Amino acid sequence: MELKGDVLWGRLPVPGMLGHVNVWLLPEPGGWWLVDSGLPQPAVELAWAGLAEAIDLRSRLRGIVVTHHHPDHIGMAARLAAEYDVPVRCSQATYQAAESALRPEPAAALAAFEDWAAAHGVPADQELRELLTGALYARMISGLPVPAPFLNQGEDLPLSAPWRISLHEGHAPGHVCLYNAVDDLLISGDQVLPSISPNISLHPGGRDDDPLGQYLASLRELRGIPDTAMVLPAHGRPFNHLHSRLDQLAAEHATRLRAIEAALVTPRALDEVVALLFRVRLSDIFNRMLAIGETLAHLRHLEVAGRVRRQGRGPALRWVGQE
């Protein structure tokens, strides 16, 4: 679908609750830059083959921007880059996150996970171990793209209109957003979504000490983008009223933080806090991982603020409110 500024909107299938991921083709004279790429799965490969015909990607694709290292975004980038002989640009933090997820030292990753799980009261079952030590990641992406110059905070990607790069934390390291002031368009990736809140998780081995704090800071930074901008998110439909969406997302987290604090007048195991926040089917391991990570991000944020602390270790660990 064509949007203002001659930007093209494509939608690729993703299994599970998300259902799809949006990709964007940004015009430059005689060609396109693609933002994000979808998962390397047969339905997506078919969609790319169709698009390649429809808009002549073979002669017109000039490059690929990856917003962050999650598989539905970076998944097809290495394969498309090889097929169309174009560079892939992302932040250095995105590249490093993908690289370290792809090449975990199995023993070291497992040891780090066990230690992290014990220190946070995470039940260390086999499925969680596999997910959180990166064993599945390699199967979900088409490879690590060949490094091209990294995208830096504040630089302009010089296409038909300049797209200003900003880097954000909280959802994924060095998440790239792109703002085109000429057409007043913001490509927000997963950083700002219209109807769901992006997952903010504490991860084993993550460099983020307080990912929720970093995410809330990024919501404040994004207020620097005009409220008039049309927002192009990775999931859902393009939307307006960016600033009120930023406020809603911040308010949702504030509500969760208050609910946790209220519940922790009694010491609670992590599972109890997860159940307080999420009523998802936790038999699904992906949902369970997201719910645990997100709950921990909130607990950690309260801990950093001195509102919550931990007692004990391993299965005996309890989260307790101060006072």
Q: Point out which residues bind Zn ion (CB under 5 A).
A: 70, 190
Which one, 69 or 298, has the nearer CB to Zn ion? Answer: 69
Residue number, 121 or 170, with CB nearest to Zn ion = 170
Tell me the CA end-to-end span of the chain in Å, nearest whole number.
55
The span from the CA of 91 to the CA of 157, in Å, is 13
Tokens representing 250?
């911040």
Distance CA 8, CA 240 (A): 18
* Token couple for 243: 């600033």
Q: Which is nearer to Zn ion, 196 or 305 (CB)?
A: 196
User: Would you say 70 or 203 has its CB closer to Zn ion?
Assistant: 70
Nearer residue to Zn ion within complex by CB, 21 or 144: 21
Residue 60 β-bridge partners: none
Measure Cα distances from 305 to 116, 118, 169, 212, 213 in Å. Answer: 20, 22, 19, 12, 10
CA dihedral 121→126→127→129, nearest 10 degrees, is: 60
Nearer to Zn ion, 70 or 288 (CB): 70
Name the token pair of 213.
């704090």
Q: Are 253 and 270 in contact (CB under 8 A)?
A: no
Q: How far is the CB of 89 from Zn ion (least distance, A)?
A: 18
Residue 195 dihedral angles phi and psi, to the nearest 5°: -125, -10
Q: At what angle do helices 270-277 and 285-304 cross, to 10 degrees?
A: 100
